[in-house]
Amino acid sequence: MNQKLPYYMAYPMPPAYDGERAERMDFEYLKSMYPDVPKRILPYVEEECDRMEYGNSMMYDEYPDKLQLRLMCGRICENIRKNERMLCGSGYDDAAEAQEKSEAPACERRETHGRAERWLRDLVEVMLYQELYKRRSDRRRRRRFY
């Protein structure tokens, strides 16, 4: 009447793994709420991280080299500029284009254009650091169980 169930049937998912699954689902949900431009940039960031993900990669160093991280950002920005033409001339730098059309002196126009170019690199840098953090913490979590 009151038969005992085997352990694996009574508790199908250990609590430690359930928490990881909830975190992963939460992270994926929040990524789906990104605005349009970061959503389009994210695959380029993930592709570069996939390319750099190997055994003794610098992205798993205790203190990753800032120069190498900036080089990664540069490669990502170049891929974006090659493949996403409309990103470089849309939304974020409309204000810069409007100012360039005005009667501003040439030196001010160059400065505004530099700021308009900088937004992409800043966004890529932040997204890369977030992706690196996620991958590093996932790797630490996996190594803890083995």
How many residues appear in the chain? 146
Q: Kindly tell me if the per-residue pLDDT of 72 is higher than 90.
A: yes
- State the residue for tokens 């508790």: 11
Q: The whole model's pTM is what?
A: 0.70
Q: Which amino acid is at 7?
A: Y
* Listed range (13-17, 54-58, 62-66, 104-108) with the worst mean pLDDT: 104-108
Question: Per mean pLDDT, which of 17-21, 23-27, 74-78, 108-112 is the most reliable?
Answer: 74-78
Q: What SS3 class is residue 66?
A: helix
Amino acid at 108: E
Identify which has the larger pLDDT, 142 or 66: 66
pLDDT value at 95 more than 50: no
Q: Under a CB-based contact definition with an 8 Å cutoff, are residues 128 and 45 in contact?
A: yes
Band of pLDDT at residue 45, cut at 50, 70 and 90: very high
- Greater confidence (128 vs 107) lies with 128
The residue-averaged pLDDT of 29-45 equals 93
Calculate what percentage of the chain has a pLDDT beyond 90: 40
Mean pLDDT of the 45-70 span? 92
Written as one string, the DSSP assignment of 13-59 is S-HHHHHHHHHHHHHHHHHHTS-HHHHHHHHHHHHHHHHH-STT-GG
Instruction: Give me the phi and psi of 62, to 5 degrees please.
Output: -60, -45
Q: Maximum CA pair distance of the chain? A: 90
Confidence of residue 142 (pLDDT cuts 50, 70, 90): confident
Q: How far apart, in Å, do the first and last CA atoms of the chain sit?
A: 39
Q: What is the pLDDT of residue 89?
A: 53
Task: Give the domain ranges of the chain.
Answer: 13-145
Report CA Rg, the chain.
22
